[in-house]
Chains A and B, each alone.
Chain A
Amino acid sequence: MARGRKEKEEMVENTRIDLQKVSIYYGNLHVIKNVSFAVPDRQITAIIGPSGSGKSTLLRSLNRMNDHIPGARVEGKAMLGELNIYDSGVDVVSLRRRVGMVFQRPNPFPKSIYDNVAYGPRLQGRIGKPQLDELVERSLRQAALWDEVKDRLHASGFDLSGGQQQRLCIARSLAVGPEVLLMDEPASALDPAATAKIEELMLQLKEDLTVVVVTHNMQQAARVSDRTAFLLGGELVEFDDTKTLFTAPADKRTDDYISGRIG
């Protein structure tokens, strides 16, 4: 889609993550092929595509979660502000503080609700009890969970419902103050009411940080995201405003996918 120069400049100014010709390989397998797009700051960017299109691989590359996979290799540039995520000197732990991640299935630690949220800040260094209490409360409030758990902060994280556990995991990510939150199908294991809460939460979170979400749920992408990237076979077919992509996509393959004709 053609855009005016002014809008283009604004997009560049507000970019949080800039992917420049990113290719990802697992051994000889070329999983992500020369993908470029800019993730705007404090907006929600959805990555959609059929199974095996490379969505999760691309998402996980943004905080180097693929480093653990033997034979995984990344080419091109993935810029987080001024930082090239794949520069050899990058401290991966510090990168993951800046770029948090929430997974498909809620994975609270076998600890209390409080300790789940306090885990990251404690790892980061000495922090006084009053400050930690305040941080835990703030993170739980930010994850829209505080009112539901404030009277049982020392109960196990496992005592919560699936949707609450997922929001606990979001609170845990928020506690270390990330600027980007990656979400890999964050609501696919949840019922419609819990899904709606996560979506509401995502919309609140974008006030403070940038969200990149992978989803199989087209309606979810259409409801919550500002921009959408459509991947097919590891290639970026289309990247546009969500409202344009879901009402008048430029590429027939996008139209076929979002309307359920392929995939």
Chain B
Amino acid sequence: MLRYNFQNELTELHTRLLFMGGRIEEMLNLSLHALRTGDLAASDEVLRIEDEIDKLAEEVDARSVELIAKQQPVGQDLRRLIGSMRMAIDMERVADINVNIVEQANLLPRPLIKPLVDIPRMIDVSASMFQDALDALINSNCELAYLVLQRDDVVDKLCEDIIVELREIMIKDSNKVSGALPLFVAAIQIERIADHATNIAESVIYICNGKRVKA
């Protein structure tokens, strides 16, 4: 085994991505908590983590560019770097979306117009997609990454159901628009988080076998 330093650098890059993934899972929990309770401290924490993720994403990008220039990687090493850069962009976008969600949480009048059922499920499924995509990356488990792709449909369906339900509530009672609209927007934002988790799984598949899949 040659090029120990380069391999260490790649491992370090992955460790950073996994750390970002962990922080994003925390953000998702905080966003859900903010939606449920309107807890401003949770919203503030989401904003703080978003800053942190921005910096980490920038670091991953800069480090990847530097490694491409210095090490001139090919084969799986090249795919790892390109995949890492793509993943960092997706994670950075997910962090932004979490900020959008807590903004909607802050707009929600309390008590909520309905108990949150499908939104927590959407967040659960999205978080598990994230978790599995990152596990697939650590273990080079291509099959697991393919399974992530299938779950995007589950989130899409939940989002559709929520939209139908909230639209009916708003049509029936215009007084509930201010309570329904932020949930409506939040659901669409969470659906986009699942799209980014799907992109991350696609990047893992690209790293694993060089195939470009598009779910």
Residues on A lying within 8 angstroms of B by beta carbon are: 218-219, 222, 246-249, 254-255, 258-263
Contacts and interface: CB of A to CB of B under 8 A. Distances in A.
B164 interface: no
Contact of A259 (B77, B209, B210): B77
A11 B76 CA distance: 27
B2 A247 contact: no
A248 B79 contact: yes
Contacts of B211: 248
Interface of B: 1-3, 6, 72-79, 209-211
Nearest to B71: A260
A259 B73 contact: yes
Contacts of A254: 75
B74 A218 contact: yes
Contacts of B74: 218, 222, 246-247, 258-259
A241 to B, nearest CB: 12
A255 B3 contact: no
Given A260-B2, A261-B1, A248 B209 contact: yes
A263 B2 CA distance: 9
A259 B3 contact: yes
A41 B209 CA distance: 30
A263 B1 CA distance: 9
A218, A246, A259 — which one has the most chain B CB atoms within 10 A of its CB? Answer: A259
Contacts of B76: 255, 259
Nearest to B6: A260
10 closest A-B pairs by beta carbon, nearest first, are A248-B210, A255-B75, A246-B74, A258-B74, A259-B77, A260-B3, A259-B75, A258-B75, A260-B2, A255-B76
Given A254-B75, A262-B2, 14 more contacts: A218-B72, A246-B78, A247-B79, A247-B210, A248-B75, A248-B79, A248-B211, A255-B76, A258-B74, A258-B75, A259-B73, A260-B3, A260-B6, A261-B3
Contacts of A263: 2
21 contacts: A218-B72, A218-B74, A219-B72, A222-B74, A246-B75, A247-B75, A247-B78, A247-B79, A247-B210, A248-B209, A248-B210, A254-B75, A258-B75, A259-B3, A259-B73, A259-B74, A259-B76, A260-B3, A260-B6, A261-B1, A262-B2
A103 to B, nearest CB: 26
Given A247-B210, A248-B210, A261 B2 contact: yes
B3 to A, nearest CB: 5
A246 B76 CA distance: 9
Contacts of A222: 74
A219 B75 CA distance: 12
Nearest to B209: A248
B210 to A, nearest CB: 3
A255 B3 CA distance: 13
Contacts of A249: 75
Contacts of A219: 72
A200 to B, nearest CB: 19
Contacts of A218: 72, 74
A226 to B, nearest CB: 16
Contacts of A255: 75-76
Contacts of B75: 246-249, 254-255, 258-259
Contacts of B210: 247-248
A106 B76 CA distance: 36
Contacts of B77: 259
Contacts of A262: 2
